[in-house]
Amino acid sequence: MINRLFFTLLLLILLPIVGFGSSLDHDSLFNLISESENDSIRITALINFADDIDDDYPDSAYIFLEQAEKIALEINNKHMLALIHQKEGKIFDELNDYAEAMKFFMEARKDIESNEFFAEDSIFRVRYVEVINHIGIIYFKIEKFDESLEHLNSTIRFLQEHNMLPDCEVYRTMYLKTYINIGAVNIRTRKFTESEINYTKALALLDDTD
């Protein structure tokens, strides 16, 4: 069981000045973290705490994710591990610590690919696309443009090969963002014709709400 005193002290620091956006209030989440005997519920509560505070308190959010990761490892829940590592990667990306961010995104990729049938799981498929795309973005930020294009293009191939078509809103957004990202890499590498092609593909995916 997670140490109740540890979270009591941490929450006393955070709760007076942080509003929680979860559908559960902070007392309910705290009770789930410290009292629930269901590991998946505790992990979800920890992730919700992290999501609520990561913008203002990334260090504290990371502590909650570390605790969630520990439980997920104990029960070998690859779905939860992939989500946790993805969120840890995002925290370090926003802190501009790209080496650490890359480490966690690679861990998330490993979590997913360790299941040889991951492509048959809709949740894994979506998370895999998000992770691969973000790895491409990190490579772009550290100016490794060939590696960035490799991962961004593999995102498009994966979507197409697994019949994840843009007529579904979730997949449409993935195509849209990826084509924009590819176009951005093309501009940085001064491949303006390719950039125009990819931005045109992105434009074709816009709807009236974009």
DSSP string for residues in 33-64: HHH---HHHHHHHHHHHHHHHTTT-HHHHHHH
Residue 203 has pLDDT above 70, yes or no: yes
| Alpha carbon distance 199, 177 (integer Å) | 10
Residue 116 has pLDDT above 70, yes or no: yes
- The H helix count followed by the E strand count for the chain is 10, 0
- Percent of the chain at pLDDT exceeding 70: 82
Per-residue pLDDT at 120: 87
Residue 7 has pLDDT above 50, yes or no: no
- Tens digits of per-residue pLDDT, 137-185? 999 999 999 999 999 999 999 999 999 999 999 999 999 999 999 999 9
Other CB atoms within 10 A of residue 96 CB? 9
How much is the pTM? 0.83
Give the pLDDT band of residue 209 (cuts 50, 70, 90). confident
Highest mean pLDDT among 23-37, 181-195, 196-210: 181-195
